[in-house]
Amino acid sequence: MSGRKERYVSISEADLRRLQEQDSRLRSVQHDLPDRLNRMRAEANREMQQRLIPLEQRGKQQEQEAQRLRSNLGELERDTQQRLRLQRQDFQQAVRESEVRQQQALQQERDSLTLAMRAGFEKQRTEYLRITADQRQEYLTLNQQLEQKFSQLLEEERQARETGQQMLKQQIDRVFDNLEQERQYKAKLAQELLTDVEQIWQQIDRDYQHQRFAPHQLADLRRNLDLAKQNLAAGVCEAAIATSQETYLKLADLRLELEQKEQEWLLYYTATLENLRTLITEVQAHRQIEIELGESGGEVEIFQAEVDYWTDGRLSAYHQKLDKFQQKLTAGESTLTTEQIQELAQQIEALHPELAEIANQAKMQVILSQMRAEIADNVVGMLESYGYQLADPNTDASYEGADYRNAYVVKVKNIAGEEVVTVITPEKELGVNNISINAFSDRLLDEEQLRQRAEGIFNALHEESGLELQGQTQCYEQPQAEYQDIEQVKHRSNPPKQTSF
């Protein structure tokens, strides 16, 4: 007589929650995360310093060009460039000091992070996230300082411009002996002013990413310059002077805005890229995990597990997702706006919890795999009371395909040569297994007796092992013949699909 009896069993919600919350059971095998983070941070600092070099070179070039201005704007521009140079120096110094503080903080936290990693994954994540939150706060502080500096700079600029406007007014109101002399003087003044303003317009067009940080504003001011040219050509010199002066004031404000937005962008970009690379570094440090099985104070087994293996490649897929963000950031360094960077930063931040989910999934899969073997052992123990024996655990028990993620299969025999093969198959729902008891015999057996025997085994698993029974026991005439030969089970590359309930 042959046949099979099946039933779904599951771990109780309380036991499943307890297993998931046992943080001490999960640790990273590699304890060099602090060193990895230090190396990554040092490289990020070098990259930031490289990004600051063009700002300094641009400032020097603009200072040289300010010396060649012919109108009264020359002095204004030279003073402006000096203030900008001091601001850039303050900015670079603040960035360097922030980098030093971050490096020192990470070095000081090295021991606590290492201890947290050894204590358990959750404690390590808490410590790691605290450190990265401190790093983000550094950049927020720099941004606040940047706003304060530019507010102060803008006020100084406006005071200087008021003085410049009074000087220009005095030049315009100068008294001449005749109208022709006045006309020539004002035409010369208008031409010099227009030429200088146009040079400043071209300088901004050449040196700044105005379309990224202030789209269309520079193009609008180009129309003002064209109008000033038309007024000058028509001999309306005072109108040309007024339009040129107004355009310069707007250009000066635009340049300050671009300077601030570019520096602000640098901070957001660096912080976002650094946060992403920090997360990638953590992922790389957790490809292998260590799991403790056993009660505290009792006998404990330690397993080392490849996270990717136990999560069916989920860690690699997560890593690839992070790499795509990194490619988007690096490829878009010259095109991404601050708003786009902030949006990417939010998306990256939302990915942080996923690593803990993946590591916990790997831990649970290892534990549940061990539990399938334990369930099989319990079933074998119960079948022994019916005269069945496990001949050799090495040859008569195996994970399907020798893959610990798959079903666990064990075969027992009695003295008459009858065989019972038990298959414990994991279902999609966490903690749920299908237990299939397959009887292989050439003689006719009592079907009701077999059903009662299976019910007894299932009930004993519930009472003694705390497993919860789901649904009713299902009876089938034919056993699962593909599991009778354990050697075939071991070497099977494509296990048969299981029927879900």
Q: Which of 285, 314, 348 lies at the terminal end of a domain, its last residue?
A: 285
Computed over every residue of the chain, the mean pLDDT equals: 86
Q: Which is more confidently placed, 327 or 186?
A: 327
Tell me, yes or no, whether 448 lies in a domain.
Answer: yes
pLDDT value at residue 501: 32
For the chain, percent of residues with pLDDT exceeding 70:
87
Domain co-membership, 7 together with 75: no
Q: Which of 267, 285, 303 lies at the terminal end of a domain, its last residue?
A: 285
pLDDT value at residue 346: 94
Q: Is the pLDDT of residue 295 over 70?
A: no
Domain co-membership, 223 together with 278: yes
- Position 152 confidence tier, pLDDT thresholds 50, 70, 90: confident
* CA-based nearest residue to 214, from 245, 260, 249: 260
Per-residue pLDDT tens over the stretch 360-376: 888 889 889 989 999 99
Which of 145-154, 350-359, 424-433, 442-451 has the lowest average pLDDT? 442-451
Stretch 260-269: mean pLDDT: 93
Q: Is the pLDDT of residue 1 over 80?
A: no
Q: Is the pLDDT of residue 499 over 50?
A: no
Tell me, yes or no, whether 299 lies in a domain.
Answer: no
Tell me, yes or no, whether 255 lies in a domain.
Answer: yes
Domain co-membership, 376 together with 255: no
Helix axes 110-119, 33-66, angle to 10 degrees: 140
Domain co-membership, 72 together with 10: no
Domain that holds residue 393: 3-14+364-491
Domain co-membership, 126 together with 42: yes
Question: Can you read off the two tokens belonging to residue 437?
Answer: 């008891």
CB burial readout 368-400, b (16+ within 10 A) else e: bbbbbbebbbbbbebbeeeebebeeeeebbbbb
Domain co-membership, 402 together with 274: no
pLDDT value at residue 291: 78
Stretch 209-238: mean pLDDT: 94
Tell me, yes or no, whether 94 lies in a domain.
Answer: yes
Residue 341: partners with Cβ closer than 8 Å, 6 or more residues away: 265, 268, 269, 272, 329
pLDDT value at residue 436: 94
Q: Is the pLDDT of residue 347 over 50?
A: yes
Domain co-membership, 417 together with 473: yes
Domain co-membership, 257 together with 400: no
pLDDT value at residue 301: 74
- Other CB atoms within 10 A of residue 163 CB: 12
Q: Is the pLDDT of residue 391 over 70?
A: yes
Domain co-membership, 189 together with 275: yes
* Domains: count for the chain: 2
Q: Which of 222, 254, 285 lies at the terminal end of a domain, its last residue?
A: 285
Domain co-membership, 55 together with 8: no
Q: Is the pLDDT of residue 178 over 70?
A: no
Contact assessment for residue 276 and residue 327, using Cβ atoms and an 8 Å cutoff: no
Per-residue pLDDT tens over the stretch 200-217: 999 999 999 999 999 999
Looking up residue 423, the CATH number of its domain turns out to be: 3.30.310
Give, as one character, the DSSP assignment of residue 177: S
Q: Is the pLDDT of residue 42 over 50?
A: yes
Q: Is the pTM of this model over 0.75?
A: yes
Q: Is the pLDDT of residue 500 over 80?
A: no
Stretch 285-312: mean pLDDT: 79
Task: Report the chain's terminal Cα–Cα distance, integer Å.
Answer: 26
CA distance 115 to 30: 13
Per-residue pLDDT tens over the stretch 59-111: 999 999 999 998 888 888 998 999 999 999 999 998 888 888 877 777 776 66
- Position 315 confidence tier, pLDDT thresholds 50, 70, 90: very high
Per-residue pLDDT tens over the stretch 5-14: 899 999 888 8
Domain co-membership, 9 together with 69: no
Domain co-membership, 9 together with 44: no
Q: Which is more confidently placed, 186 or 400?
A: 400
